[in-house]
Amino acid sequence: MGIEQLNHNFLTGKLEDVVRWARRNSVWPATFGLACCAIEMMAAGTAHFDLARFGMEVFRASPRQADLMIVAGRVSQKMAPVLRQVYDQMAEPKWVISMGVCASSGGMFNNYAIVQGVDQIVPVDVYTPGCPPGPETLMHGILTLHELIRTGEITRRRIETGAGAGLTVDRPVAVGTPK
Amino acid sequence: MTQTVETPTLDTGFPVLKGGIESLRDPGAVLRIPHLPESVDEVPTDDETMIINMGPQHPSTHGVLRVMLELRGETVLRCKPVIGYLHTGMEKTGEDLTFLQGPTNTTRMDYVSPMFNELVFSLATEKLLGLEIPERATWIRMLMCELNRMSSQVLWLATNGMDLGAVSMMIYGFRERESILAFFEKTTGLRMNHNYIRPGGVAADLPDGWRDDVRKILDVFPGRLDDYETLLTGQPIWQERTQGIGIITADECAALGITGPILRSTGVDWDLRRDDPYLFYDQVDFNVVVGTYGDTFDRYAIRLNEIRESMGIIHQILERMPAGDYRAQDKKVTPPPRGRIDESMEALIHHFKIFTEGFKVPEGEVYVAVESPRGELGCYLVSDGSSKPYRMHIRGPSFVNLQALAPMIQGGLIADAVAIISTVDPVMGEVDR
Amino acid sequence: MAPDTPSEGEAEAEPEPEPAPPPRLHGALASESRGQTVVHPHRSEYLDLVRALKDEGFVMCVDLTGADYLVKSNRQLPDSVVAERFEVVVNLLSLAERRRVRVRVQLPEADPRLPSIYELHPGSEAMERETYDMFGIVFDGHPDLSRILMPDDWEGHPLRKDYGIGRIPVQFKHPSGAQ
């Protein structure tokens, strides 16, 4: 059967674009609730805000099955190694959203106990402002991430500038994307 | 567990522990594994037992709680909660914020019931100041606290349902919570972490049409609670998974300092709203819901019915809400009205000084406690006469209640551990502070 | 409430020259603070006092915490109580009588030790550990006195007044590439 017999029901595109499109539409977040923001993250997943619209309602309990880590809340000095370990256990390609000011910059807790920004530990792709960010804000962050995945912006930025924490990236964060 | 349990009476107080102090020194009976180092690797274990870690990143531990469980087969021999993964240094930060800024700090402790944290700090500050707040402000505080109690208990029902596999409860619970949060957002500007209750009153008056909003919540809730009863209370699977699970006695509660629904589930009717009244709780009628067996089902039923009691209180508040000021008109504590700032230089300076320097609080120390949805929430406040607390300590009920975990889990099945952790209702922000 | 005669522990801290003796509770000096009962035992009397109070009905140890008075010299204390740097504050509750009593014990800087009340109130276990963690106050007889909130290898005791808040200056910088 030759390809000329197929008249409709198919699209053509670069493999790269198709992969990005598929990745964008099936981001699976890990449950990484830490503090107040975790409650809003849960609220975003329930019926009222319905994260399922974006193909993301399945919060995975195991980091091995997830490719997005939403760091929801303040990261203490005691939690930081655990967070890093969970991040390392996630499969590539993976993304991180820093949810709320505490995760992004330490927020109002500029003291001995809190890591002043989770980007000191893991590379962050999207920062979500607010204390806590409402579910709408989180969704905006998620859609921003989707757009970054779709356009390949993340991989370009990483490879060219080495942005993010730059602590461990011993392999490219997203593989298979040229430039 | 089916034997009749004597309801302890408050007149006699509590006898000593039934098994003597030794009963609590059984392995795993308290918040520790005796004579074991922290590192699990070094523990010389029997071949038959296995130590597993739940958490700190685990979907069912309600935040970043880590629980070490020693198992023989499926039976939990010992249990040790390990906390501190959310330690935020709030007590240290609290010494660096003025009394007016204090509630922004404390409200982030128990993020499921932030109003109570603001309230207890404000009450302690006002007690040091000797400040009387207007009646309307007090009623507004009660209204917001009771609504917050409802949203907190509903959230607990939701997460507890999810922990036990009743996922639809999760969706329903969050739906009801949203209706209350919408009112909070309208009133305070934020869904959580409001900083609404402040020393001297509340931050803003109730919005126009607040009665209709609250009535709408109160109209919807009873039917929804009946739905929950249909969904959970009478359901055999739910009963099997909760009845007789995680039993604790009144004596153990007293010895371990447990308060709130866990203490009430053992039959002790102890509720600070009634027994140590603050605000105007002595002027409203409500029942203190108590259980009999001290098991998970009792705690579920207590929390469900406390929503009904809170609704009764809110109905009374709606009737009795007076007109008046929503904050004390004490120039030392209260900033001038917004309108005056535009016209008067003095008012501008006054406003500026209150929000930068803060107000000075007389020297002294005080302990104030309120009944949060989780138990006794206390604030120990020391002032040295300046505008910042010298020492601010919050007695989080979850922190103490977590000690109940070990006696409740011990001897049970690993599958029930999740139900029991959930029933303690720990909010880790408050445990670790 | 009945003031007992001071039977023991009349240590150097408590001479009694006043004509009207100050109120006492189970042999320890008592005072009022904003309408709340406060007892000031010497640390040698502390355990006996808590035991006596427990027998009287104060069955629940609601709260146990510390305070560091390094930089605050003036304090409201009964005249004969010698102010020291550290203070342990214990809140006891009588469910039957619906009363509270607060115990404040002074501990010198050189030797901040106190007997543990674990045997009387097992619920003080976590609180004593927290006080040890935050202030470095040692509780003799505690079954497992180790850090509870901070990581095990943490140095220092954060709530001491000579321990800095740990603030780090916030740095704002342009994102790389932007002008």
In-domain check, residue B40 = no
CB–CB of B89 and A113 under 8 A? yes
Main-chain phi, psi angles of B264, to 5 degrees: -70, -30
Residue ranges of domains in chain C = 24-109
CB–CB of C124 and B257 under 8 A? yes
For the stretch C143-171, pLDDT in tens is 888 888 888 888 888 888 888 787 776 65
d(CA B68, CA C55): 35
d(CA B236, CA B73): 26
Q: Chain B contact for A73, CB < 8 A?
A: yes
Residues of B with CB under 8 A from a CB of A: 56-59, 63-64, 84-90, 92-93, 104-105, 108, 111-112, 155, 159, 170-171, 174-175, 177-178, 191-193, 428-429, 432
Q: Which residues of B touch A79 (CB under 8 A)?
A: 56, 64, 85-86
In-domain check, residue B69 = no
Mean pLDDT of C6-25: 54
User: Of C161, C131, C159, C160, which is closest to residue C145 (Cα–Cα)?
Assistant: C131
Residue B327, SS3 per DSSP: strand
User: Of B81, B105, B101, which is closest to residue B359 (Cα–Cα)?
Assistant: B101
CB–CB of B192 and A40 under 8 A? yes
**Strand C36-40 versus strand C99-107 pairing type:** parallel
User: Of A1, C148, C157, which is closest to residue B83 (Cα–Cα)?
Assistant: C148
Helices and strands, counts by H and E, chain C: 2, 8
Name residue B212's amino acid.
D
DSSP-assigned letters across all residues of B87-133:
---HHHHHTTS-TTTHHHHHTTTSTTSHHHHHHHHHHHHHHHHT---
E strand or H helix that includes residue B186 = helix B167-188
Residue B401: give its domain's CATH number.
1.10.645.10
Q: Note the helical H segments in A46-152.
A: 80-89, 100-105, 135-151
Name residue C171's amino acid.
Q
Place of tokens 């910042």: B388
Q: Note the helical H segments in B130-235.
A: 135-163, 167-188, 210-228
Average pLDDT, chain A: 78
**Strand (E) positions, B188-336?**
197-198, 201-202
Homologous superfamily, domain C24-109: NADH:ubiquinone oxidoreductase Nqo5 subunit (3.30.460.80)
CB–CB of B89 and C72 under 8 A? no
Considering the entire predicted model, what is its pTM?
0.84
Q: Chain A contact for C178, CB < 8 A?
A: no
In-domain check, residue B39 = no
The count of structural domains within chain B is 1
In-domain check, residue B374 = yes
Name residue B127's amino acid.
K
Residue B292, SS3 per DSSP: coil
Tokens of B122: 């404000």
Place of tokens 């849960």: A42
Calculate the CA A127 to chain-centre distance.
Answer: 10
pLDDT in tens, chain B (433 residues): 444 444 343 333 333 333 433 433 333 333 333 333 333 344 445 566 778 888 777 766 677 888 888 887 788 888 888 888 889 889 988 888 999 888 999 998 888 899 999 999 999 999 998 888 899 999 999 999 999 999 999 999 998 888 888 888 888 988 889 999 999 999 998 888 888 999 988 988 899 999 999 999 999 999 999 988 888 888 888 888 888 888 888 888 888 889 999 999 888 888 899 888 888 899 999 888 888 888 888 899 899 999 999 999 999 999 999 998 888 888 888 888 878 888 888 888 888 888 888 888 888 889 999 999 999 999 999 998 888 899 999 999 999 998 888 888 887 888 888 888 888 888 888 888 8
Calculate the CA A75 to chain-centre distance.
Answer: 17
Instruction: Give me the helix-helix angle, B135-163 and B414-424, nearest 10°.
Output: 170
* Pairwise pLDDT comparison (C132 vs B33), residue with the higher score: C132
Q: Which residues 197-226 of B have a C-beta within 8 angstroms of C? A: none
Which residue from C165, C170, C177 is facing A111, i.e. has the nearest CB?
A: C165
Q: Which residues of C touch A101 (CB under 8 A)?
A: none
Asked whether A48 and B177 are in contact (CB, 8 A), the reply is: no
d(CA B129, CA A5): 87
User: Of B110, B229, B241, B224, which is closest to residue B174 (Cα–Cα)?
Assistant: B224
CB–CB of A48 and B174 under 8 A? yes
Domain that holds residue B307: 90-431
Distance between C20 CA and the closest CA of chain A, angstroms: 49
CB–CB of C68 and B256 under 8 A? no
> Looking at chain C, which subunits does it touch, using at least 3 CB pairs closer than 8 Å as the criterion?
A, B
Looking at chain A, which residue has its C-alpha nearest residue B171? A46
In-domain check, residue B165 = yes
Q: Note the helical H segments in chain C.
A: 46-56, 124-135
* Pairwise pLDDT comparison (B22 vs C32), residue with the higher score: C32
In-domain check, residue B295 = yes
The complex's ipTM? 0.81
Sign of the dihedral through C-alpha C155, C157, C161, C164: positive
Which residue from C67, C122, C158 is facing B89, i.e. has the nearest CB?
A: C158
In-domain check, residue B207 = yes
Q: Which of C32, C58, C59 best tests the B interface by mutation, with the highest count of B CBs <10 A? A: C59
Q: Which residues of B touch A129 (CB under 8 A)?
A: none
Looking at chain B, which residue has its C-alpha nearest residue A112? B89
Q: Chain C contact for B410, CB < 8 A?
A: no
In-domain check, residue B307 = yes
Q: Which residues of A touch C167 (CB under 8 A)?
A: 110-111
Looking at chain A, which residue has its C-alpha nearest residue C156? A112
Distance between C83 CA and the closest CA of chain A, angstroms: 29
Residue B256, SS3 per DSSP: helix
Tokens of B3: 């034997």
Which residue from C151, C170, C176 is facing A77, i.e. has the nearest CB?
A: C151
CA distances from A166 to A170, A173, C163 (A): 9, 11, 31
